Structure 1
Amino acid sequence: MTQTADLLVTGASGHLGKAVLAHLIETLKVPAARIVATSRKPGDLGDWAARGVTVRKADYDHPSELAAAFTGIKRLLLISTDALDEPGKRLRQHKAAIEAADKAGVAHVVYTSLPDAQNSLVSFAPDHAGTEAAIKASGIAGHTLLRNSWYSENVLHALPHALETGKWFTAAGKGGVSYIARDDLGLAAAAALTSNFSGKRTLSLYGEKAWTVDEVAELARNATGKPLAVVQVSVEDLVQGMTGAGTPEPVARVFASFDAATAAGNLAGSPEDFEALTGRVPQPFAEWFANNAVPVLTETA
């Protein structure tokens, strides 16, 4: 029997998109013929096409093309875009995709959002809150909103530089982040996409516990043998420090908002939803750190 391509992954050429595709085929054993992968650059998906996945071009900045890309799809994973260079652009892109999915007759949308999107102090939280609202207001029958906590991989943005200088400047205070590996979030998205659930739900996906900056710094010191002092500063001082080091102010404010959100508890939570969705526990952050961060940190130490 010929398989119908009815599951679609947007942003499939990105890190998360590739993890979703891998879990669909390798973990969940979904026939490749059922899967459609879209990207602005479909040529980047050649390896997946070779495995039998249907590859289509989908550019959110060209909304008229999206409905055709979504034709025949019953369940669609909308991976949030990385368009943070222009205020309003990301939300506009998401709304275009939602409208196209509605027109194409998509029955269920899975969206990768942010914890506590309506209240989070993360600077781009309104993009996620607005997208969630647009999905709920659309004519699409069902949705699963995946409020993804911070990737474990995010610690590698600031930590290498902090180890070089011996000081980790932060405005996170004693707040913690329930880090979760990107691969685990890929599994969760794949599970939601293939689920028989047809209603409307919101799931918050966190790692096993919340880690403070002090606790992560301790992991780094133990792994590298290098001194690392955690220096608590205000959000404004953190912004000034980053801009003084050459970071454009808009970018510095985005990064500083992550610390503000951490201090407010916006990125800490329980793994219960992840476990219920996937049937697994998330990889412990300390284990991920040892297997993935330590090789990077010791190589640059």
Structure 2
Amino acid sequence: GALVEYPGNYSRFRVLKEARLAELTKNYELQQKEVQRLKVMIRRFRQWGHEGDNESFFKKAKELERRLAKLTLVKPPAPPKNRLQGLANGGKSGKEVFIVRDLHQQYADQFLFKDSSFAIYRGEHLAIIGDNGTGKSTLLKLLLGEEIPSGGTIKRGSSLQIGYLPQQLQFADPESRLLAYVQTLTGNEEAARRQLAKSGFYQSDVAKRIKDLSGGEKIRLALLKLFLEKINVLILDEPTNHLDSYAREEIEEMLQDYQGTLLAVSHDRYFLQRHFQEALVIEQQQITRQSLSPLIG
């Protein structure tokens, strides 16, 4: 029921929030130690008063009781809302996930990129960055096989189980109710309700139509579907857009433990700094692998 203000951007918010929670935890633990100390002393003074029939011990016990009653108790930090479950890692893919040679992509007379070669290996986490319109989402579609390159080759490795979160989400039946949709994924209603609750959808939400969900809710629903699949390659296109801070933090924690291959398009500096050390950079119609730190400061 309280509003906490954190001045600054999202990165600053995370630092300030962590410091605030650490301080709250420390103050709570210190106060609990003092409360326990006072309760022990009260019991001792009462015991000594009974054993020695000494009224002064009872008076000291009452003084400590008044002192204890006047304490404004510090509340412990609220536990995080763990709405999103962890990604289920699939079996190992082949060592080579994508081998790209002399890649060209053009529309009419305009090249997005040309003569570009790179490789992505099992377990690597790579960001994909570049200015708007340089072809970041197009590159994802090429890797996924949703588009055919104008030239060059893309070799996909063996045993790939790919999970993809596109920037523009589309569902086959937007008129479908949440519960009915998730039930097709889980096989029964009880499991569907349980999975919906884990993703932050509760009793009042399950009858909503997919088309009536907010942008953040649609992303959470798409993530729910991904989390139910055992994948070893995860491809994300602007994954933190439209998400509230709790969902952003949960996705960040989930990705920290993800052992598979990860590719993500993002402009979110905090997200990039936390999860990636290298990037596929699209600039001047070329795709090159570069260290991420100099690019985002």
Task: Specify if TM > 0.5.
Answer: no
TM-score bin (small chain) = under 0.3
More helix by proportion, 1 or 2?
1
Q: TM-score, normalised by structure 1?
A: 0.27
Higher relative contact order (CA 8 A, sep 6+): 2
Q: TM-score, normalised by structure 2?
A: 0.27
Report the structure number with the largest CA radius of gyration. 2
More strand by proportion, 1 or 2?
2
